[in-house]
Amino acid sequence: MSDERLAQARAWMRQDPDHETRDELAAVITRASAGDDDAIAELDDRFGTRLAFGTAGLRGALGAGSNRMNRVLVAQAAAGFAAYLRERSTDGTPTVVIGYDGRRNSRVFATDSAELFAGAGLRAILLPRLLPTPVLAFAVRHLGADAGVMVTASHNPPNDNGYKVYLGGASQGAQIVAPADAEIAAHIQRVADADDISTLPRSTSYETAGEDVVDAYIAATAAVAPAPKSASGLRWVYTAMHGVGWETLSKIVTAAGYPQPMVVGEQLKPDATFRTVSFPNPEEPGAMDLAFARGRRVQADFILANDPDADRLAVAVPDASSENGWRRLTGNEVGLLLGARAAKAAEGTEGASLACSLVSSPGLGAIAAHHGLEFHETLTGFKWISRAPGIVYGFEEALGYLVNPETVRDKDGISAAVAVLGLAAEAHERGSSLSDLVAELGETYGHFASGQVSIRVDDLSVIGRVMLSLRTLPPARFDAHSVASAEDLLHAREGAPSGDVLRYRLADGSRIIVRPSGTEPKLKVYIDAKADSAGRAAEIVRELEAAVRSLLEERS
């Protein structure tokens, strides 16, 4: 154990305003000073690096240290971001809006940020209470703010929290992209190097936004798909996944004229422990089991689920062949449903475009072509999708949908829910269902199927080794499916999306994409197939999933 590491930990503890993390760190320091190997390793983990500020902002486990989310790190981030905003401001005092969800310390981190922004001479506006991430994204545009901060870790594990940053002006309320991330990170590092957040100026003169901001979001989102008369017959179930979506969604459902859902009561109110799920993500196995059980009991037509900060949406439909009687639609299926809806509405509009990330279904390109619209394929993340020229709709297969770009330039699980309600009501009017709408997509635009294989790791170096192995020894085939071409997007041509992504195009027209997750310790593989029938497309995906799993086992 180096004296330098101990001194670093003690200096951190002296400036920490949170007694809980101070006590936590003091205990580790005491054990490490006595020669406890586990405590020494823990200090190295906490202080050997710092959570990197990037285009996704900050996100990590709560705890003391530079490699954790805590009040010291948040103060450094807020002060650094304030310096960045002052530096780029050319016309007066920058305005920043701050929102927060129901996770542990979210309100504390948001209030600290508001005080530090105000202390730095910015106009700081704190949203009135815990609210969904899309409300914060909306507020940046609605209030004409220069920036926004949302304290949330979205669907991460319960002990995580995060700090998501948006920019107004030319960015129109979208999340940051390069080079802003590096410029903000440099300002944050200068604050961190000063080594004492207690000297940073603070002020309680920040503003608290009125309910009119929330009311404006409710009105704009209800207008996405006002209910037809047939909507009164809908029977649906909703779960907030222990997050902050319910209060806002319920008001919007009423404003739009839809019947209120039958809810999963155990998951309706914010709960930072996420006590009924092992992982608060609708994509994870078991996360929607309570919703499925509720849906069976009430014989619902469909189920809608938001993730904890309500920027994602999951949709499930009855399925007699499933063990639990329900099938969650894939993000691609919902994405294409909403894409077809948007394309029909935008047909004939000059410059209108659909956009999705490069790992999402190529079916959106087919929909755009069918309706004479432009199509853009971007890197993963709505910071890129939302910036597509002429965008009227965008989506990502990870349950993210942008259906209302004029008001929210980010994924929005609540406006997407309203759009799905509109589709369900229209289908109900003609004696049809959401399942039928999915089947009709194939008949109109071609039969696309998708799948995904991912490996979660404890050691991030495993992901690096697998990616290096695939680059140095590219696979020539995936089982019976031969590779026609391989692309390394680290070396993409100018103007094309570039990143740590490998893309394989197979001889039968299928596609496999491999990339590390940007927010979780996962390696993710995306599989897409197109065939003459839905059954054959699904069969190809199953074959490729098995081949990919085998390959990853060999390479890891």
Cα separation values, 446 from 148, 424, 511, Å: 40, 22, 16
Domain formed by 52-209, architecture:
3-Layer(aba) Sandwich (3.40)
Query: Annotated active-site positions, please?
Result: 154
Residue 493: is its pLDDT beyond 70? Answer: no
Cα separation values, 80 from 48, 114, 189, Å: 21, 13, 8
- Distance of alpha carbon 327 from alpha carbon 288, whole angstroms: 10
Q: What pLDDT band is residue 158 in, cutting at 50, 70 and 90?
A: very high
Q: What pLDDT band is residue 114 in, cutting at 50, 70 and 90?
A: very high
Q: What pLDDT band is residue 90 in, cutting at 50, 70 and 90?
A: confident
- Distance of alpha carbon 537 from alpha carbon 42, whole angstroms: 48
The amino acid occupying position 306 is: N
Q: What angle do CA 231, 234, 238 make, to 5 degrees?
A: 115
- Does this model's pTM top 0.85? My answer is yes
Residue 499: is its pLDDT beyond 90? Answer: no
Q: Which residues pair with 449 in a beta bridge?
A: 529
What's residue 495's pLDDT?
61
Strands of the sheet with 262-263, listed across from one edge: 262-263, 236-239, 302-306, 313-318, 326-328
Give 261-288 pLDDT, tens digit per residue: 999 999 999 999 999 998 999 999 999 9
Cα separation values, 154 from 36, 100, 200, 282, 541, Å: 35, 11, 29, 11, 29
Residues 298-325 as b or e (16 or more Cβ within 10 Å = b): eebbbbbbbbbbbbbbbbbbbeeeeeee
- Distance of alpha carbon 303 from alpha carbon 413, whole angstroms: 13
What's residue 456's pLDDT?
87
Residue 358: is its pLDDT beyond 70? Answer: yes
Q: How far, in whole angstroms, is CA 419 from its chain's centroid? A: 19
143 token code pair: 């209030």
Give 166-177 pLDDT, tens digit per residue: 999 999 999 999
Is 98 in contact with 151 (CB distance < 8 Å)? Answer: yes
Q: Name the 3-class secondary structure at 131.
A: coil
Is 340 in contact with 347 (CB distance < 8 Å)? Answer: no
Q: What angle do CA 180, 117, 19 make, to 5 degrees?
A: 110
- Distance of alpha carbon 446 from alpha carbon 448, whole angstroms: 6
Kindly state which CATH superfamily the domain 230-445 is placed in.
Alpha-D-Glucose-1,6-Bisphosphate, subunit A, domain 3 (3.40.120.10)
What's residue 55's pLDDT?
79
- Distance of alpha carbon 433 from alpha carbon 56, whole angstroms: 37
Q: Which residues pair with 98 in a beta bridge?
A: 126, 149
Cα separation values, 220 from 39, 148, 171, 216, 391, Å: 52, 19, 20, 6, 18
Q: Which residues pair with 161 in a beta bridge?
A: 60
CA dihedral 121, 83, 161, 514 (to 10 degrees): 150
Q: What pLDDT band is residue 494 in, cutting at 50, 70 and 90?
A: low
Report the range of poorest mean pLDDT among 243-257, 351-365, 494-508, 514-528.
Answer: 494-508
- Distance of alpha carbon 556 from alpha carbon 553, whole angstroms: 5
Phi-psi region of 373 (alpha: psi -120 to 50; beta: other; left: phi over 0): beta
Give 48-89 pLDDT, tens digit per residue: 999 999 878 999 999 999 999 999 999 999 999 999 999 998
The amino acid occupying position 108 is: V
Residues 377-416 as b or e (16 or more Cβ within 10 Å = b): bbbbbbbbbbbbebbbbbbbbbbbbbbbbebbbbbbbbbb
Inter-axis angle of helices 37-47 and 3-15, to 10 degrees?
60
Residues 477-495 as b or e (16 or more Cβ within 10 Å = b): ebeebebeeeeebeebeee
Q: What pLDDT band is residue 398 in, cutting at 50, 70 and 90?
A: very high
What's residue 497's pLDDT?
66
Most confident of 362-371, 480-489, 490-499: 362-371
Q: Count the residues in the chain.
A: 556
Q: What pLDDT band is residue 459 in, cutting at 50, 70 and 90?
A: confident
The mean pLDDT of 190-200, rounded to a whole number, is: 92
Is 127 in contact with 145 (CB distance < 8 Å)? Answer: no
The mean pLDDT of 237-259, rounded to a whole number, is: 98
Is 167 in contact with 180 (CB distance < 8 Å)? Answer: yes
First-residue to last-residue Cα distance in the chain = 32
- Distance of alpha carbon 505 from alpha carbon 497, whole angstroms: 16
- Distance of alpha carbon 18 from alpha carbon 29, whole angstroms: 16
Q: How many helices and strands (H and E) does the chain possess?
A: 17, 22
pLDDT averaged over the chain?
94
SS (H, E, C) 164-215: EEEECHHHCCEECCCCHHHHHHHHHHHHHHHCCHHHCCCCCCCEECCHHHHH
- Domains 52-209 and 230-445 are alike in CATH topology: yes
User: Where would I find the H helices in 413-460?
Assistant: 413-429, 434-445
User: Can you give the residue ranges of every domain in the chain?
Assistant: 1-48, 52-209, 230-445, 447-555
Residue 115: closest CA among 149, 160, 154, 152: 149
Strands 391-396 and 400-402: antiparallel
What's residue 458's pLDDT?
85
190: which residues sit within 8 A by CB, 6+ positions away? Answer: 80, 83
The domain over range 447-555 is classified in CATH as 3.30.310.50:
yes
